[in-house]
Chains A and B, each alone.
Chain A
Amino acid sequence: KAGVTQTPRYLIKTRGQQVTLSCSPISGHRSVSWYQQTPGQGLQFLFEYFSETQRNKGNFPGRFSGRQFSNSRSEMNVSTLELGDSALYLCASSLVPAANEKLFFGSGTQLSVL
């Protein structure tokens, strides 16, 4: 069974640009959540999707958005990039969006904003 796939693996952008990251969950998993990881802040929750609906959103500005498609694949978009957006962006999938569900993480997309 294939794991969680995130693309691209690495990305370099400049300030002001926008970026779209993709996440394909494990087959059969319908919940996808996104996280930002930086050396200073650690892992922080961005948002969670289930059945194409955003269920929860973390404390990030509106420049961060996402969506989920009918096949459970998810994308997140960051507009007007800032230097502080440089981070490892991780997505995780689970069968359903429950706190006691096991999360399976992808390898992440390393975003560098210059």
Chain B
Amino acid sequence: KNQVEQSPQSLIILEGKNCTLQCNYTVSPFSNLRWYKQDTGRGPVSLTIMTFSENTKSNGRYTATLDADTKQSSLHITASQLSDSASYICVVSEGYSSASKIIFGSGTRLSIRP
């Protein structure tokens, strides 16, 4: 069964600190992996998209890594800010057909404390 699992479920860190969120998947055939940021009560916003051949992708203070062999991805946030408080969702696409073949992780709820 295609699954996407994220850890930790929630995380609290102090402003200015770094953190790393994990995503493990068992999706096949693999198309791409995305990280989204979702503020409370809002829609998800895309942070990064990585295909099979990409190992690292950055978007400002956000850096995503992908190990297609172990089927693991991580999202590293550098020098966290209060505005980083949000849920981070890992999404894996199966095949190349349509939006129906995307599998969502349950997300990591990140809280940044001043």
Check B104–A98 contact: CB distance below 8 A.
Answer: no
What is the interface residue range for chain A against chain B?
20 to 34
| A99–B104 CA distance with the chains assembled, in angstroms | 13
A32 to chain B minimum Cβ distance, whole angstroms, is: 9
| A45–B106 CA distance with the chains assembled, in angstroms | 13
Check B98–A102 contact: CB distance below 8 A.
Answer: no
Q: Does B70 contact A (CB under 8 A)?
A: no
Contact A100/B44 with A42-B104, A42-B106, A45-B102 known, Cβ cut-off 8 Å: no
Q: Taking beta carbons and an 8 Å cutoff, which residues of B are in contact with A?
A: 31-32, 41-46, 49, 51, 89, 93-102, 104-107
Q: Taking beta carbons and an 8 Å cutoff, which residues of A are in contact with B?
A: 4, 31, 33, 42-45, 47-48, 50, 55-58, 88, 90, 92, 94, 97-108, 110
Q: A99-B97, A102-B46, A108-B42 are in contact. List 7 more A-B contacts (CB 8 A).
A: A4-B43, A42-B107, A88-B41, A98-B97, A99-B31, A106-B43, A110-B41
